[in-house]
Chains A and B, each alone.
Chain A
Amino acid sequence: MATSSALSSAYGRPKPTGGLELWSWVFMRVSGLLLLVLALGHLVIMHLINSVDAIDYDFVARRYIGWFWRSYDLLMLVLAMVHGLNGLRVILDDYLHQPVQRRIAAWLLYGIGGALTALGIVAVVVFQPPSSVGVP
């Protein structure tokens, strides 16, 4: 379709016709919409409703007594890292053309990205607020 191909070349990535690339294309849109709410919500809560002057260990400990903000942060973390790493993969594919370059880039991307995501998940899941927090 002439309109859609002209549109794609000017605005977004052309929609892949199938396989993993189609899933990646769909994921970027679905996760993008979810992150619009989660990440902008996170910024509004942390920087407008609260501020960096209010954020410290006790602030996080009070927030992490329940499961709600932990789940929120966990979902945002995983979606943002996969969305970001996949976006960077698409960008790198535009600049790296030799298979060996792409292989090295992919290993670095998934290695470093995977390790950081795991570290973030550990922090969100493992952190135990001290028992003194939350007692009025």
Chain B
Amino acid sequence: MSRYRGGIGQWSWMFHRITGVGVLVFLCLHILDTFLIVLGPEHYNAIIAWYRHPVFRVSEVGLFACVLYHSLNGVRIILFEAWTGLVRWHRQMFYVQMAIFAVCMLPVTYLMLRPVFGR
């Protein structure tokens, strides 16, 4: 990965790329597993059962986090482009973005991982 001037701008940009590629890779696999629905219940149910494995459940929380980060960061980029004056508050805006991210991910993680702990 290229590194430029460092700081929040560079890291948020790098995470935008990493989460984007990650979601694209999952989407490609998800198309393949979903296609099995055409072949019948025995094939589709067999592959979907994988999603209930604890390792997959943790990965699904990671997928949720990637989509949420990429969405929030994308909105921040659009806001900057629409109102260039906002660049003065770029640090604060990133902190707000990450606060929203954390507030969303706490209940999401709890709800999605609850079955792993038998609740």
Give me the interface of A with B, judged by CB distance under 8 Å: 1, 3-4, 6-7, 9-12, 15, 29, 32-33, 35-36, 39-40, 43, 47-48, 51-53, 55-58, 60, 77, 80-81, 84-85, 87-88, 91, 94, 112, 116-117, 119-120, 122-123, 126-127
Contact = CB atoms under 8 A, between A and B. Distances in A.
B77 interface: yes
Interface residues of B, number: 50
Nearest to B41: A57
A10 B9 contact: yes
A12 B38 contact: no
Q: Please classify the interface of chain B as helix (H, G, I), strand (E, B), loop, or mixed, using the class held by over half of its residues.
A: helix
Given A11-B9, A39-B67, 15 more contacts: A10-B13, A33-B78, A36-B74, A36-B75, A47-B60, A51-B115, A52-B51, A55-B51, A57-B48, A87-B17, A87-B21, A88-B20, A88-B21, A117-B31, A126-B38
Contacts of A122: 35, 38
